[in-house]
């Protein structure tokens, strides 16, 4: 499945296409209507291409309104698609947005269609069209990842905001702990716990002497890891008694066992290291907390958990993202929240009839075994925003924006920038030396959607300037922030307010590489920007061509900064 935009349409051959349902009087009219509608870029209109083995089978025109997906056009692009392919595609598109009904907005009832559509649970409603009411048996899959798991609570917040229900939960390690919190249906309690969490609340390690003056430096991070490692070696696994106490304090057995949701946790039995799946129905109020602890015991860093004379360790050793558990329980949809924690992710083949919505982040989520309330709060904000984006409530790629005519505004900005480039004599000369194709085709060949060229460049610049992705922006706000950060930028590492939280070693190493690199990404863009802005192009055309050949992306970013300045002046 791929969402299509106007420039995608230009590459398609509609000569042999046909209507799948008679929304219009002719194939020609159906194509004309879809072509006219797609260029409007209405925020609630979406056009999807459904592919099978990389072959486009059909294009569907949809409009999402309240709890419905309205379909007003379906164009067959190949004769190879079966009725099952169409049914699967349409249901998948609808269920990924968790709508309650699909409406085929046919202008009138067709007796010839009644039998065909009724067999697929569509009924004709006068003045509305053919309507199919959808049923769901949704499972929430929560992967393991220690302190990264705070992200999952942000996702849960978004699911509640969108009123998306789920009947099944499976969890490994921190996913099991969060699953227990979700069973209680107390979001405020879960958020409060994560906002105030410390490593000492999870593991029995020495507390900092000056814990009130928390340092987030790389040196302090190394000290923390040294203490954790030393304690783990001396004790043959750090005691999880603090975590056990936290579970006892947080979990309400009455609320959990009164929940109508089915809950499954994954742990690993020793010494054979076999996966063990335990359902809530198999637990008692007394053993519930022990099984949560068993799923989360990341041995050898953490002590194993003893239950009925068997030692159990972290479920991630065998199944870190337990999708298969809920598939076997009859889930028809999966919401998978994978925080990319350490462990084995099973190669689970999800049947085509099960709709899978994966919510994960391209951003780092911090450490696994070191816990920090500030980092958890940031992760929760990010989880909420990225889930809302996945569910279609917000827009964006790696950053998140309010809708507010997002598609139209990004297209307008992209068009203006392309005009700006065409009016730049030397860019045109360089471009036509490289290729004879049009700009939008060149962008598509380089995996850039032309309609969102401006967004691609803005987000690339925002990342280089270390602008916080855990905030909701308008296009105007992010544009101003990019220029503001550029103007404030100095040589070396510019600390942002994100330094008020704990980073992982990997994140710190990335920062240090940028900081100590002779020419960092942001320095390179800044050099291109100054070169173009100071009219050095006219003085040294060959240097310009060389710079663009070395990194045309940095060149576009430098030119885009000049364009932004002119737009926001």
2-133 belongs to CATH 3.40.630.30: yes
pLDDT average, residue stretch 539-559: 83
Determine which of 166-175, 410-419, 433-442, 471-480 has the lowest per-residue pLDDT on average.
433-442
171 forms bridges with which residues in the sheet? 142, 265
DSSP type of residue 561: H
The pLDDT tens digits of the residues spanning 481-529 come to 999 988 876 444 455 444 689 888 888 888 777 767 767 788 888 888 8
Residue 360 and residue 152 in contact, taking contact as beta carbons nearer than 8 Å: no
Q: Which two tokens stand for residue 512?
A: 């240090």
Active-site residue identified among 68, 170, 173, 297: 173
Is residue 339's pLDDT more than 90? Answer: yes
Domain range 138-390, its CATH number among 3.40.50.720, 3.10.20.30, 3.40.50.620, 3.40.1090.10: 3.40.1090.10
Is residue 561's pLDDT more than 60? Answer: yes
**Can you tell me the distance from the alpha carbon of 229 to that of 301, in angstroms, rounded to the nearest whole number?**
7
In the prediction, which pLDDT does 496 show? 47
Would the pTM of this model clear 0.85, i.e. be above it? Answer: yes
In the prediction, which pLDDT does 237 show? 61
Count CA atoms closer than 13 A to 129's CA, side-chain side.
Answer: 19
Distances in Å between the Cα of 82 and the Cα atoms of 47, 52, 106 are 20, 11, 21
The pLDDT tens digits of the residues spanning 415-461 come to 999 999 888 777 777 887 777 777 778 888 888 899 999 999 999 99
**Can you tell me the distance from the alpha carbon of 217 to that of 499, in angstroms, rounded to the nearest whole number?**
9
The pLDDT tens digits of the residues spanning 314-335 come to 999 999 999 999 999 999 999 9
**Can you tell me the distance from the alpha carbon of 281 to that of 264, in angstroms, rounded to the nearest whole number?**
9
**Can you tell me the distance from the alpha carbon of 202 to that of 198, in angstroms, rounded to the nearest whole number?**
7
| Closest C-alpha among 504, 473, 470, 467 to residue 485 | 467
DSSP string, 40-89: T--TTEEEEEEEETTEEEEEEEEEEETTEEEEEEEEE--TT--HHHHHHH
Determine which of 104-113, 303-312, 397-406 has the lowest per-residue pLDDT on average.
104-113
The string over 168-177, giving b where at least 16 C-beta atoms fall within 10 Å of a residue's C-beta and e elsewhere, is bbbbbbbbbb
Is 173 noted as a catalytic residue in this protein? yes
Active-site residue identified among 8, 262, 314, 338: 314
In the prediction, which pLDDT does 236 show? 61
The pLDDT tens digits of the residues spanning 93-115 come to 999 999 999 999 998 888 888 88
pLDDT average, residue stretch 134-163: 97
Residue 38 and residue 63 in contact, taking contact as beta carbons nearer than 8 Å: no
**Segments making up each domain of the chain, as ranges:** 2-133, 138-390, 400-568
């Amino acid at each position: 499945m791929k969402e299509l935009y106007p420039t995608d349409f230009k590459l398609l051959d509609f000569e042999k296409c046909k209507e799948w349902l008679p929304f219009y009087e002719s194939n020609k009219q159906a194509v004309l209507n879809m072509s006219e509608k797609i260029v409007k870029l209405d925020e609630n209109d979406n056009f999807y291409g459904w592919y099978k083995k990389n072959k486009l089978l059909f294009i569907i025109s949809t409009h999402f309104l309240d709890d419905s997906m309205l379909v007003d056009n379906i164009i067959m692009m190949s004769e190879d698609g079966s009725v099952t392919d169409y049914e699967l595609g349409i249901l998948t598109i609808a269920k990924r947005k968790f709508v309650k009904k699909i409406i085929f907005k046919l202008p009138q009832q067709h007796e010839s269609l009644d039998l065909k559509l009724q067999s697929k649970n569509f009924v004709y409603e006068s003045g509305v069209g053919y309507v199919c009411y959808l049923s769901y048996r949704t499972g929430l899959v929560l992967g393991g990842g220690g302190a990264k798991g705070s992200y999952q609570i942000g996702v849960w917040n978004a699911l509640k905001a969108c009123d998306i229900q789920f009947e099944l939960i499976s969890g490994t390690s921190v996913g099991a702990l969060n699953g227990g919190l979700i069973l209680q249906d107390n979001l405020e309690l879960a958020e409060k716990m994560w906002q105030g969490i410390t490593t000492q609340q999870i593991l029995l390690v020495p507390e900092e002497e000056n814990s009130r003056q928390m340092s987030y430096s790389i040196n302090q991070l190394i000290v923390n890891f040294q203490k954790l490692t030393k304690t783990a070696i001396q004790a043959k696994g750090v005691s999880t008694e603090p975590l056990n106490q936290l579970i006892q304090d947080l979990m309400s057995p009455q609320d959990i066992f009164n929940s109508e949701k089915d809950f499954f946790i994954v742990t690993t039995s020793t010494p054979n290291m076999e996966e063990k799946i335990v359902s809530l129905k198999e637990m008692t109020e007394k053993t519930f907390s022990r099984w949560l602890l068993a799923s989360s015991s990341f041995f050898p860093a953490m002590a194993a958990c003893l239950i009925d004379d068997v030692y159990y360790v972290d479920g991630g050793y065998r199944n870190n993202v337990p999708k298969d558990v809920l598939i076997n329980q009859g889930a028809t949809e999966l919401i998978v929240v994978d925080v990319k924690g350490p462990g084995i992710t099973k190669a689970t083949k999800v049947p085509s009839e099960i709709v899978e919505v994966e919510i994960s982040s391209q951003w780092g989520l911090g450490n696994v075994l070191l816990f920090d309330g500030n980092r958890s709060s940031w992760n929760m904000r990010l989880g909420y925003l990225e889930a809302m984006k996945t569910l279609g409530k917000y827009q964006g790629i790696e950053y998140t924006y309010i809708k507010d005519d997002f598609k139209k505004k990004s297209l307008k900005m992209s068009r203006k920038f392309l005009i700006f480039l065409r009016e730049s004599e030397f860019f045109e000369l360089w471009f036509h030396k490289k290729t004879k194709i049009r700009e939008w085709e060149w962008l598509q060949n380089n995996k850039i959607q032309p309609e969102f060229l401006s967004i691609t460049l803005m987000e690339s610049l925002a990342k280089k300037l270390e602008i916080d992705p855990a905030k909701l922006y308008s296009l105007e706000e992010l544009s101003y922030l990019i220029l503001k950060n550029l103007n404030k930028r100095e040589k070396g590492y510019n600390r942002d307010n994100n330094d008020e939280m704990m980073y992982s070693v990997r994140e710190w190493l990335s920062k240090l590489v940028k900081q100590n690199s002779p020419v960092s990404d942001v320095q390179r863009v800044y050099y291109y920007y100054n070169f173009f802005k100071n009219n050095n192009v006219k003085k040294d055309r060959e240097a310009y061509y060389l710079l663009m050949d070395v990194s045309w992306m940095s060149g576009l970013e430098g030119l885009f900064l000049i364009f932004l300045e002119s737009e926001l002046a």
